[in-house]
Amino acid sequence: MKLNIALLAGDGIGPEVIDQAVKVSDAIAEKFNHEINWKPALTGAAAIDAVGEPYPDETHDICMASDAVLFGAIGHPRFDNDPSAKVRPEQGLLKMRKKLGLFANVRPTFTFPSLLDKSPLKRERIEGTDLVFLRELTGGIYFGEKGRRDEGETAFDNCVYTRAEVQRLAKKGFELAMTRDKKLCCVDKANVLETSRLWRETVQAMEKDYPEVEVSYEFVDAVAMRLVQWPNSYDVLITENLFGDILTDEASVISGSMGLMPSASLGSDIGLFEPIHGSYPQATGLNIANPMATVLSAAMMFENFGLQEEGKAIRDAVNSALEQGIVTEDLSENGKSYGTSEVGDWLAKNI
């Protein structure tokens, strides 16, 4: 295959972890006879500094001309405690999601046998956890009208969903469930929110098209609890944008493998693949960031092109590295650890 991949390294540790995913992907290309054309482009605080815009038009053009986007991380603390900042890295992320039509954020949470004891949860609570969140990514309160009234004394954010938006996300959820344990949980707050009632009634109406899928409906507060109690009771969960933001981050911790969790954002023809972790500014340039989540995001990218073997080759390399202790300091057991780029080199060599 000939693949054009937009490469959006972003901020903080983004560039370092992206470098490793590139190495590993290049090794895959060589082994499986693909040709990858990397197209680097600016995003996040890095793009604000360079051109005053977190998702510049040139970057969008590069993405649109590519087959997929590999993304690092964005965000810089200098923007966080400044409520008055006019341009923020996060705006770039939201604009990108919207303009690329990435309405479904796929976030798996699974365990690695060798890492079970890293979890804050007891082993018996997480063993066997293998769930996937499908988070709606281009609607809801993130994108509704927002602003101030009364000379700034009143602020508002509008949460809006259409039935069509719910349907296309739920459809992906049902389809994904069919390839897995055939359980789908619709997470909402239908006892309070009208948007949630629309979600629930829309999903209910779709149940008949997937008679094999066992569908449950749970309130977001109950899921926030059960995720910590019995994460392994879930299979596929679908939810709206803001609930998904909160719950996917919560879920990422319970597996004990947060630094290893990849994600995909899908919708249009062009998928975006990124680690779930943030830009981790304190670690920037120190060659200590764990590149595995980004490397596994590249695996999801190959799999999304239908290249299952390529994805598996990456996953196998990551598993071997974990078993053999070729890990960054966050996962080190015995004091021995490797740098970001050493882990990347090892993975590339072991493809």
Ligand X SMILES: CC(C)[C@H](C(=O)O)[C@@H](O)C(=O)O
Which stretches of the chain bind ligand X, using CB under 6 A?
75, 90, 93, 191-192, 221, 245
Does the annotation flag 107 for ligand binding? Answer: yes
What H or E segment, with its residue span, contains residue 188? strand 183-188
Which partner, ligand X, a copy of itself, none, binds residue 153 by CB below 5 to 8 Å per kind? a copy of itself
* Active site (annotated) includes residue 245: yes
Cβ closer to ligand X: 191 or 282? 191
In angstroms, the Cα distances linking 91 to 47, 94, 205 are 12, 5, 35
Does the annotation flag 221 for ligand binding? Answer: yes
Q: How far apart are CA 121 and CA 164, in angstroms?
A: 38
Q: Regarding beta strands 68-73 and 2-10, do their DSSP bridges make them parallel or antiparallel, or are they unpaired?
A: parallel
Residues 6+ apart with CB under 8 A from 130: 108, 109, 110, 111, 232, 235
* Active site (annotated) includes residue 249: yes
How many residues line the site for a copy of itself (CB under 8 A)? 66
Residues 6+ apart with CB under 8 A from 172: 104, 134, 238, 266
Which partner, ligand X, a copy of itself, none, binds residue 236 by CB below 5 to 8 Å per kind? none
Q: Which amino acid is at 56?
A: P
Does the annotation flag 135 for ligand binding? Answer: yes
Site for a copy of itself in 107-146 (CB under 8 A): 120-122, 125, 141-142, 144, 146
* Active site (annotated) includes residue 188: no
C-alpha closest to that of 301 among 329, 326, 328, 266:
266
Site for a copy of itself in 301-330 (CB under 8 A): none
Among 52, 86, 113, 154, the residue binding a copy of itself under the rule CB under 8 A is 154
Residue of 221, 269, 316, 349 marked catalytic: 221
Q: How far apart are CA 214 and CA 185, in angstroms?
A: 8
Residue of 67, 189, 234, 280 marked catalytic: 189
| Residues near a copy of itself, by CB under 8 A | 75, 79-81, 83-84, 88, 90, 94, 120-122, 125, 141-142, 144, 146-148, 150, 152-164, 189-195, 197-198, 200-201, 204, 217, 220-222, 224-225, 227-229, 242-243, 245-250, 252-254, 258
Annotated binding site for Mg(2+): 221, 245, 249
Q: Give the annotated binding-site residues.
A: 97, 107, 135, 221, 245, 249
